[in-house]
Amino acid sequence: MSSMARAAGRVAMLLLATACAGPGDPVMPDVAPKVTVSANGGSATVAAGSTLQLSAVVTDKRGQLVTSPSVVWSSSTPTVAVVSPEGIVTATTVGQTTISAALLGTTGTIAVTVTAGAPAKLFVRTQPGDVASGMSFTAAPVVEVRDALDNLVRTASIPVSVSFASGVGTIGGTTTVTSVQGIATFSQLTLSGLAGPRSLAFSATGLTAVNTATFSVNAGPAASLAFRLAPAGGGLNSPFITQPVLDVLDNGGNLATNSALTVTATIASGGGTLTGATAQATNGVVTFSNFGVTGAGGVRSLLFSVSGLPSLPISVTPCDATRSPLLALSATSRTLAGFALRTAVVDTLTITDTNGSCTAVTNLNTSVTYVGASGWLSATLLTNPARLALRANPAALNTNTYLATVAITSGNAPTVTLPVTFNVAASITLRYGLASEKVNELDVNGTLQLAPVILSSEGAVITAPVTYASRSPSIATVAADGRITARLGGQAWIVAQTAVNGGALDSVFVTVTRTTGPVLRADVTRFDYVRNTPFSVTLSLDTRGATVGAAQFVFTWPTELGTPAMLRLTGTVPGTVGGPVIVTDNASGTTRISIASAAGMTGVITLGRFDFIPTLVGSSQFVLRHVELLDLAQVSLLGNATALQYPVVIK
């Protein structure tokens, strides 16, 4: 064998030995198998109620990656999370667990953290115990925000509100609390109401509400007084037949049985003194004895009081069973003042029994006797409480002093008399403008000044201060001297007023038109008319420089067939220019007027006369309106035209 052949054989043997190397082979030594566990997505934190997919990577003793390894999964704390054979972790409880994957005699682990899930419901951590009405709970109710698997959601900051789940009453203190680290503590929460069982409901938007266990509301500390029995019967210079009995109540209306208070009665108004004015509470009930009023008859306002509580008022009229009625008026005489021909003057006096008798007054009547002129005074008895109403009417009296005496008689009390003096001064009337100046028309910036006249009830002219006011100052203003200035198109009432001798006022009506352009108007100079007295209204169109070829207008009035039903139209007389065509609908109180002229119309065009009879008292208005207004070229003139309105008052 040649040397080359021998060398080749040695190489072949070396290669075979290398290929068959075993443990401890210095060429390819064994390594420990390894299992590496990781969470898909990188984070090993999962919310309760959710799942997390884990993966295991396994290498064998040669360091080679094992394909599709069949690892055995397990959880160190299954109450926190469990793991499926496929490596899916299902989280249930907040906490930590170690998830293991085992294969080839080795184990890989990963620490999994479980956090709370989304807020889903409320849970009462601390139940409320029994509570006294009006007081706070000894242990404040505490509510947790939990997820669907009952884990406390410490990240939750949610408003939680409290209400009654059962029973009624008043919940005081802070009734909505925002949770801090998932916990809402209702400190200083109070309940008020009648004693009995209750339960509370806690709720938050989007979460399942929770009710507390049943607890009791018990009587609380004293908060107020209330009458169980009010004093009644007799009581004047002797004890009341029905003695007062009071309850001491907590703020829920329960009898405060633990209250041992002393209640004192005092007289707030009416005079006199009280007997038996103090009493001690026993088991929350205050019973007076020998309680009465010493003094004259009449109404008393009493106060029952105890330190620290609101006083309890009551009005009583004690009476004396040993005395007969003795009537008296709140004044021994009366002087009244009025103005001639004006409205009546009314006065009222109270009637009391100064003896405070327990015997009712019978057959009470009034009468009036006069010195001189009669019939001007009436005297009427009123009840609850007893009063005498006087009504002095100067409507038929002149300026003078009038005397009368009112007598009050009864079946069992002495007669009471009241001298009455009635001083009647002269009244006045104010006339603002002449009868032909009650309705006025002004262009913008135009002025007008009307003279007011003040007359006494005897017809004498009186000089007295007069003030003026505009009801629509944006339309027309009035100066202190009575000068009226037109400001803007429209209508305004101007009022003149004086305060002497009971005062008087009167008004005029002002219509403000544009300075240029046609005006549709009526020959109305007054606004008041007398029922059943005929009058006429004539309508006209003042073209004010324009030439009108054709026009149509509407005139409305308060027809007796409509609402208000005031006027009856008895006739119409058309004008002569433009051939007016008048069409009237009496049912609606509407008249349409048409005119036309091929040659054109200028100046003041009389449209027609309308004759009316006022049938009913009331107030309304005449309304004029342009429907169409054309020049000879058929161009509309409406943009610069004015149509007026007029008040109508039927007396």
Q: What is the pLDDT of the chain when averaged over all its residues?
A: 91
Residue with tokens 């007062």: 244
Q: How large is the average pLDDT for residues 34-41?
A: 93
Average pLDDT over residues 495-516: 91
| 545 and 612 inside one domain | yes
* Cα–Cα distances in angstroms (integers) from residue 600 to residues 198, 538, 577, 606, 638, in the given order: 92, 22, 10, 14, 16
Q: Is residue 372 part of a domain?
A: yes
- Residue that finishes a domain, picked among 78, 96, 115: 115
Q: Which two tokens stand for residue 411?
A: 């079946």
* pLDDT at residue 426, rounded to an integer: 81
Segment 198-239, tens digit of pLDDT = 999 999 999 999 999 999 999 999 999 999 999 999 999 999
User: Is 416 within a domain?
Assistant: yes
Task: For 42-101, write each residue's pLDDT tens digit.
Answer: 899 999 999 999 999 999 999 899 999 999 999 999 999 999 999 999 999 999 999 999
Residue 205: CATH number of its domain: 2.60.40.10
**CB neighbour class for 420 (10 Å; exposed up to 12, middle 13-18, buried from 19):** buried
CATH code, domain carrying 439: 2.60.40.1080
Nearest of 142, 286, 129, 141 to residue 218 by alpha carbon: 129
> Does the structure show a pLDDT above 50 at 323?
yes
Residue at which a domain ends, from 316, 345, 368: 316
Residue 12 lies in a domain: no
Q: Does 111 share its domain with 155?
A: no
Does a structural domain hold residue 238? yes
Query: In which band, very low, low, confident or very high, does the pLDDT at 113 lie, cut at 50, 70 and 90?
Result: very high
Judge whether 78 lies within some domain.
yes
**According to the model, what pLDDT value does residue 10 have?**
44
The verdict on residue 9 lying in a domain is no
Range of the domain at 79: 34-115
Widest distance between CA atoms in the chain: 183
What confidence score (pLDDT) does residue 15 get?
40
CATH number of the domain within which 361 lies = 2.60.40.2820
Do both 311 and 378 map to the same domain?
no
Mean pLDDT of 229-258: 94
Residue 402: closest CA among 374, 431, 443: 374
Do 307 and 343 share a domain, yes or no?
A: no
Q: What is the pLDDT of residue 477?
A: 97
Q: What is the pLDDT, as a whole number, of residue 412?
A: 94
Tokens of 158: 């949610």
Number of Cβ within 10 Å of residue 305's Cβ equals 17
What is d(CA 503, CA 344) in angstroms, rounded to the nearest whole number?
15
101 sits in the region (left: phi over 0; alpha: psi -120 to 50; else beta) called beta
Give the residue carrying structure tokens 């400001």.
487
Residues 213 and 301 reside in one and the same domain? no
Q: What is the pLDDT of residue 27?
A: 60
pLDDT bracket for residue 18 (50, 70, 90): very low
- Count of C-beta atoms within a 10 Å radius of residue 158: 17
Same domain, 540 and 632: yes
Min mean pLDDT across 79-83, 393-397, 621-625 is at 393-397
Q: Is the pLDDT of residue 14 over 60?
A: no
Residue 6 has pLDDT above 50, yes or no: no
Considering the domain architecture, whether residues 128 and 75 belong to the same structural domain is answered as no
Give pLDDT, residue 425. 86
- Is residue 566 located within the same domain as residue 581? yes
Q: What is the pLDDT of residues 124-162, one digit of tens each?
A: 999 999 999 999 998 899 999 999 999 999 999 999 999
Domain count, the chain: 6
Q: Decide if 396 is inside a domain.
A: yes
